[in-house]
Amino acid sequence: MAAQGTGGRGGRVVGDYMVGRQIGSGSFSVVWLARHRVHGTEVAIKEIVTGRLNKKLQDSLMSEIFILKRINHPNIICLHDIIEVPGRIHIVLEYCRGGDLSMYIQRHGRVPEALAKHFMQQLAAGLQLLRDNNLIHRDLKPQNLLLSTNDNNAILKIADFGFARSLQPRGVAETLCGSPLYMAPEIMQLQKYDAKADLWSVGAILFQLVTGKTPFTGSNQMQLLQNIMKSTELQFPPEVKLSAECRDLCHRLLRRNPGIPSLPI
C-alpha cells in the first residue's frame, strides 16, 4: 500500500487514514482531521513539509518524535504513527475534539477554582512523568494544552514537544525558547535554568484560568520582563475572589528563582 494516495471516493489517503478537513496550521505544518480506514478511529495528522525546515527545526522535529515515542501517559498527547513520503512527514496523533485550553478560556472566561484544580491536577500528573524521564517541556501555554472533549470533564493533554529536551538531574539549560507571556524570567534573561522553569509557566496558566487574565503584560518581550522583575507582589484583579490556598499556589509558582512548590496532584 502506498504511503499516500487517493481513496476510492476521491479523498486523500495517508497510510491507513482517510484525510478530512483542515483543523489547524503553523508556519511549517498543516493539521488535518483524519479517520482510520478500517476501524474508524479519528486522529489528527500533522503534515510537515520538510523542505521548509532549517537544520535547527529539523532537529527539533526529530527530538519531538523521539520524546513522543518513549512516553505514554493519559495527560500527554498520544503518538499513533509516523508516516513519511518524499518531502513530507506525517505525525499521526490522537484527536482532541475539545480544542486547546486557550480556546476554552476564550469561550468561558475565568473558571471556578474547582475546575481550574481539575485541569491543574492533570497538568501536574503529565509534568511529573516528564520529570521522571528527565525532560523539560519549555513551551507550556494554553495553546499547547489540548482537551479531549468539550465539557468540564475533559482530559487535559500536554502537546507540542518541539522545544522539549532531555535534562539530567541537576542539569541546566540556557536556550531562549517558549512563549513570553508564560516564560520564566530566567529564560528571558538568558540565564541558565532547569526543570523548575516549567513551573513558572504552570503558574501563569493557573493565574489565567482563575482570573481570566495573564499575570504580567508588556508591549514587547523587554517590557514584559521589566514588569516581571520590578513586581514585588502578584496583583490579582480586585473583582476576583479566590481562596487563600489558590492565591498561595499562584504566589509560589510565580516566584522568581523558585524552589519546588508542591503541585495539586
User: What residues are annotated to the active site?
Assistant: 139
Residue 104 in contact with residue 147, Cβ under 8 Å? yes
213 is in an annotated binding site: no
Distance CA 164, CA 178 (A): 10
How many Å apart are CA 42 and CA 145, to the nearest integer?
19
Closest CA to 78 of 50, 128, 42: 42
- Grid coordinates representing 163 are 522545544
For residue 79 the three cell numbers come to 503518538
In angstroms, the CA 158 to CA 68 distance is 11
Q: Which of 17, 64, 51 is nearest to 37 (CA)?
A: 17
Residue with cell 487574565: 213
Contact criterion met (CB below 8 Å) for 200 and 184: yes
DSSP category for residue 51: G
DSSP-derived pairing of the beta strands 135-136 and 4-6: unpaired
Coil/strand/helix, residue 221: helix
Q: Which residues pair with 14 in a beta bridge?
A: 4, 17
Alpha carbons 36 and 38: distance in angstroms, whole number: 6
Annotated binding-site residues read 46
Annotated binding-site residues for ATP read 46
